[in-house]
Amino acid sequence: MKKHLIITAIILSVGFGYVSCFAPAYCAKLTRKQKKEKKFIDIGNVNFEDKNYELAIEYYTKAIGINPQNAQTYTKRGNSKYLMGDYKDAVKDYTKALEIDPNKENAYYNRGIAKSELKIYDEVLADYTKELEHNPDNVNAHLNRGTTLVLLERYDEAIDDFTRACELDSKNVTAFYDRGLAKRYKQDYQGAIDDYSHVIELDYNNADAYNNRGVAKFYLKDYKGAVEDFSKVVSLNKNFKRVYYNRGLAELSLKNYEDAVVDFTREIELNPEDDLAYYDRGLAQCGLDNYISAIDDYTKAIEINPQNANYYSSRGTLISATGGDLAKAQQDLDKSIELDGEDSEKYFTRAIILCKSKSYLSAVDDLNVVLKMNPKNTQAHDLRSFAIHSLNDK
């Protein structure tokens, strides 16, 4: 059975730096045209601060009409467009700012953020790298480049960026948190645990860090430790997404079936369409010998997600094992194999059901498939011998 755990998303730091276009000491020396430009920019800034981005764009555009060579105004307008979700036009403004001033502060960084929303990650990397050439100590640029590298599954490079961010700011929660995620994706679970533990030292009530540390512990089969971390999450936030499901899986692995049922039930109350919660509650019910309840849970999981082969095979197996309707059990295995014909266990289970139904020839066919996939499966050899012997006795 595959275990599905929720990992909190990597944080993408978004920051915009503002530098006044006109120093107050020199305002008296401005021309009438420059004063008008400044007035439009100031009005745009006020509207930006008030989150009236559309109006801010209008006034920045007026300022650009007066002076189309002011890189800072393009940057400001690009920031407004970004925050309105107009990422393509934001990129255009940042690009124009860089054409005017290739050394413009934050322009590469902000353009990289906008491009990340457009999912053009190679260009995102190029922008963050250019930003770091100009400002190698930009912590957020390291964080965001690391994030992009994770999305590209280049985990070692991502860890290097997050490590540099940690070195630049030893109390940066995001840097340690994101490095933990990269290590988890690399399956360095102990390394991930170490980073999440450091996050917790910096921020004791960080529910995300406890959740993700619990996930890493789960993968190291430290189920008790995982339960402790998930329980801490519950104490911090009773509505934390999927935490009851995660703790239920850990309890299930510890064979604490009653506790698992309670957690999966709570997850279902919060997310009634969570098919995995129904399925895993069914597994826990089996551990308690509550077979009717288990079949009901498998059935509900199938209703929600009729494309999961495991749901059918588990229900069919349980129906067969508890002396239920063999025809229904076979139908479930038929459907399971239709959805996933690469799993030898499903063919083996169907062969058992076919033998129970005295359909020995069909059972032999299934067992031949099993042995083709796994020639060393002794159980399949034994069952096929039984089926062939039973055929000969007919």
Question: 296 or 32: whose pLDDT is higher?
Answer: 296
Residue found by looking up tokens 């915009």 in the block: 16
pLDDT band at 11 (very low <50, low <70, confident <90, very high): very low
The percent of residues in the chain predicted with pLDDT above 70, rounded, is 93
Domain boundaries, the chain: 29-136, 328-394
pLDDT per position as a tens digit, 170-212 = 999 999 999 999 999 999 999 999 999 999 999 999 999 999 9
* Mean pLDDT value across residues 84-97: 96
Residue found by looking up tokens 């840097």 in the block: 175
* Mean pLDDT value across residues 81-92: 96
List of E strands, the chain: none
Cα atoms in the 13 Å half-sphere on the side-chain side of 18: 16
What does the alpha-carbon distance between residue 329 and residue 318 come to, in Å, rounded to a whole number?
8
Cα 280 to Cα 62, 247, 257, 323, distances in angstroms? 60, 12, 10, 22
* Mean pLDDT value across residues 225-249: 97
Q: How close are the terminal C-alpha atoms of the chain, in Å?
A: 38
Residues in the chain: 394
The residues, ordered by sequence, that sit 6+ positions from 138 with a Cβ below 8 Å of its Cβ are 109, 131, 132
Q: Which of 318, 308, 330 is nearest to 283 (CA)?
A: 318
Which range has the worst mean pLDDT, 1-10, 100-109, 217-226? 1-10
pLDDT band at 12 (very low <50, low <70, confident <90, very high): very low
What six digits make up the tokens of 61?
């555009």
Whether 26 has a pLDDT exceeding 70, the answer reads no
Q: What is the pTM of this model?
A: 0.84
Whether 249 has a pLDDT exceeding 80, the answer reads yes
pLDDT band at 8 (very low <50, low <70, confident <90, very high): very low
Q: Which CATH architecture has domain 29-136?
A: Alpha Horseshoe (1.25)
Q: What angle do CA 325, 275, 282 make, to 5 degrees?
A: 50
pLDDT per position as a tens digit, 102-137 = 988 788 999 999 999 999 999 999 999 999 999 999
Q: Cα 191 to the chain's mean position, in Å?
A: 19
Cα 239 to Cα 131, 227, 267, 275, 279, distances in angstroms? 39, 16, 9, 18, 21
- Cβ atoms of 110 and 89 within 8 Å: the answer is no
What six digits make up the tokens of 223?
């189920």
Same fold, 29-136 and 328-394: yes
Whether 30 has a pLDDT exceeding 90, the answer reads no
pLDDT per position as a tens digit, 287-334 = 999 999 999 999 999 999 999 999 999 999 999 999 999 999 999 999
Is the backbone of residue 85 left (phi > 0), alpha (psi -120 to 50) or beta? left
What does the alpha-carbon distance between residue 351 and residue 345 come to, in Å, rounded to a whole number?
10
Q: Which CATH architecture has domain 328-394?
A: Alpha Horseshoe (1.25)
What six digits make up the tokens of 386?
């039984």
What six digits make up the tokens of 89?
């036009």
* Mean pLDDT value across residues 154-158: 97
What does the alpha-carbon distance between residue 282 and residue 292 come to, in Å, rounded to a whole number?
9
Question: 3 or 133: whose pLDDT is higher?
Answer: 133
What does the alpha-carbon distance between residue 87 and residue 267 come to, in Å, rounded to a whole number?
36
Q: Which of 82, 51, 80 is nearest to 64 (CA)?
A: 80
- Cβ atoms of 103 and 131 within 8 Å: the answer is no
What does the alpha-carbon distance between residue 228 and residue 234 come to, in Å, rounded to a whole number?
10
Q: Which of 71, 148, 59 is nearest to 107 (CA)?
A: 71
What does the alpha-carbon distance between residue 188 and residue 194 come to, in Å, rounded to a whole number?
10
DSSP 3-state helix, strand, coil percentages of the chain (rounded to 5)? 75, 0, 25
Burial class (CB in 10 A: 0-12, 13-18, 19+), 37: buried
Secondary structure letter of residue 3 according to DSSP: -
